[in-house]
Amino acid sequence: MQQLREWFFAQPYLLLTLVPLFWGGNTVVGRGMTEFISPITLAWIRWTFAFLLILPFALPSIRHDWQTIRSSWKMLLLLSLLGITIFNTLFYVALQTTQAINAALMQSSGPAVIVLLSWWWFGERTNQRQWLGLLLCFLGVGLVLFQGSWEVYRSLS
């Protein structure tokens, strides 16, 4: 198991490919499943499956950092409630009334919005590469929103 874990984490291109695959797949599957399964049940199934899938890889780190985890349990509980439980449940609720592409656009622009809010509210320093990343993110969202057409953009009122 240790060899598999080491090999897996030494494959950056595979890991970078899996991230958008999982996020995009979650959006599409979530949109299709919200007609049959409640958002709360769907979120529970998703995170139970993810927990069981990730646990064998995470167990050595959990054992190693157990004291820190134990001493920070309140903050970890709050973050898991806000970032996993509530966010995903509300995400699946939203998927009941919108298209998957709308949800994906909102979700993909989230990190950029966090960078902007951190810069604005907390005065966090943002370097040129981050500004370029923000620009590319919003250009990508705009490209999808306007279907790659200036005519769609110009026809907005």
- At 10, the amino acid letter reads A
Q: Give SS3 for 118.
A: helix
Using a cut of 0.75, tell me whether the model's pTM lies above it.
no
- At 34, the amino acid letter reads T
Torsion angles phi and psi, residue 33, rounded to 5: -85, -20
Exposure string of 83-113, with b = 16+ CB inside 10 Å and e = fewer, is eeeeebbebbebbeeeebebbbbebbbeebe
Q: Which tops the pLDDT comparison, 147 or 39?
A: 39
Segments making up each domain of the chain, as ranges: 1-97, 100-157
Q: Exposure of 24 by Cβ count < 10 A (0-12 exposed, 13-18 middle, 19+ buried)?
A: middle
Closest C-alpha among 27, 40, 5 to residue 101: 27
Vertex 154, ends 138 and 110: CA angle to 5°?
20
What percent of the chain shows pLDDT beyond 90? 36
Q: Which two tokens stand for residue 19?
A: 């991230």
Per-residue pLDDT of 39-75, as tens digits, reads 999 999 988 998 999 999 899 999 999 999 999 999 9
- Report CA-CA distances (Å) from 114 to 71, 108, 109, 110, 111: 27, 11, 9, 6, 5
The neighbour count for residue 12, using CB atoms within 10 Å, is 8
